[in-house]
């Protein structure tokens, strides 16, 4: 790989019409403080277009080294993508509070209410597997499905459909969209588990293959 400045020079000499420019330079900790939630896209200006009337938030930023490190020194090329929450393709799991909460007005403790809420939630989720009695009462399967379902959101659906432009013409094509959406969600689910530990992939992987296929389906 070429260093960033060298790459820019080569592309300019080749008269590429669209060349990425450094938004900011600095140390990693400085760049991690960049406000991606309010960063306006620079693409319209680069293309000579008028600014949109709406607030045109950029999807995010890519952090990369200005000077490439030889592959003999590092095996993996370090690149970090910081993405705006507006484009998130995963619904974050709620964090559980470790501190005790005051009792509610009806006199019941919040712990009791949480248990009841969780019970009702699991019962609703079990209805998704009404056709699959073999896993309907498998608590591990329900937990795995709950975590994987966070990856099925509108932004991901939009992303999948953008890749299928021109292929979605009939009602039956929606099945193709559903399959692609499930595959895309499953792929990120496994990737996040391996890289960031943000998903309960261990629970999913602990299920038998038949149960995994049912959940993906």
**Strand-pair category, 79-83 with 60-64:** antiparallel
Q: For residue 182, with 0-12 CB atoms within 10 Å meaning exposed, 13-18 middle and 19 or more buried, which class applies? A: middle
State the pLDDT at residue 161: 79
How far apart are alpha carbons 92 and 85 in whole angstroms?
10
| Closest to 96 in 3D by CA, of 122, 123, 119, 115 | 115
- Predicted pLDDT of residue 81: 86
CB 103 within 8 A of CB 110: yes
Question: Which spans in 106-200 are helix H?
Answer: 110-126, 133-136, 139-149, 154-162, 173-195
In which element (H, E) is residue 3 found? none
User: pLDDT tens track of the chain, all 217 residues?
Assistant: 889 999 999 999 999 988 888 999 999 999 989 999 999 998 888 888 998 888 888 888 999 999 988 877 777 788 888 888 888 777 655 443 444 444 444 444 556 666 666 556 555 555 665 566 667 677 788 777 777 888 888 888 888 877 776 666 655 677 778 888 888 888 888 777 665 554 556 777 778 888 877 777 7
In CATH terms, the fold of domain 4-86 is Dna Ligase; domain 1 (3.30.1490)
Beta partners for 60? 83
What token pair was written down for 162? 């953008």
User: DSSP for 10-70?
Assistant: HHHHTT-S-----S--S-HHHHTTS-GGGPBPSHHHHTTPPPPSS--B-SEEEEE-SSPPP
Show the tokens assigned to 108.
């019941």
Q: Helix or strand or coil: residue 203?
A: helix
Show me where the domains of the chain are located: 4-86, 110-216
């Amino acid at each position: 790989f070429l260093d960033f400045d060298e790459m820019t020079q080569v592309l300019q000499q080749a008269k590429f019409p669209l060349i990425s420019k450094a938004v900011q330079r600095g140390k990693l900790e400085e760049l991690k403080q960049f406000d991606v939630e309010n960063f306006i896209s620079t693409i319209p200006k680069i293309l000579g277009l008028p600014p949109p009337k709406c607030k045109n938030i950029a999807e995010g930023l890519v952090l990369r080294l200005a000077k490439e490190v030889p592959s003999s020194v590092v095996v993996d090329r370090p690149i970090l993508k910081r993405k705006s929450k507006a484009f998130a393709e995963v619904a974050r799991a709620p964090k559980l509070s470790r501190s005790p909460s005051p009792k509610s007005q009806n006199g019941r403790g919040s712990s009791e209410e949480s248990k009841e809420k969780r019970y009702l939630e699991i019962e609703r989720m079990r209805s998704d597997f009404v056709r699959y009695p073999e896993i309907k009462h498998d608590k591990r399967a329900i937990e795995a499905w709950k975590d994987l379902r966070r990856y099925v959101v509108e932004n991901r659906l939009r992303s999948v459909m953008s890749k299928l432009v021109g292929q979605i013409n009939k009602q039956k094509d929606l099945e193709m969209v559903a399959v692609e959406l499930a595959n895309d969600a499953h792929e990120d689910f496994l990737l996040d588990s391996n890289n960031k530990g943000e998903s309960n992939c261990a629970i999913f992987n602990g299920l038998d293959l038949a149960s995994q296929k049912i959940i993906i389906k």
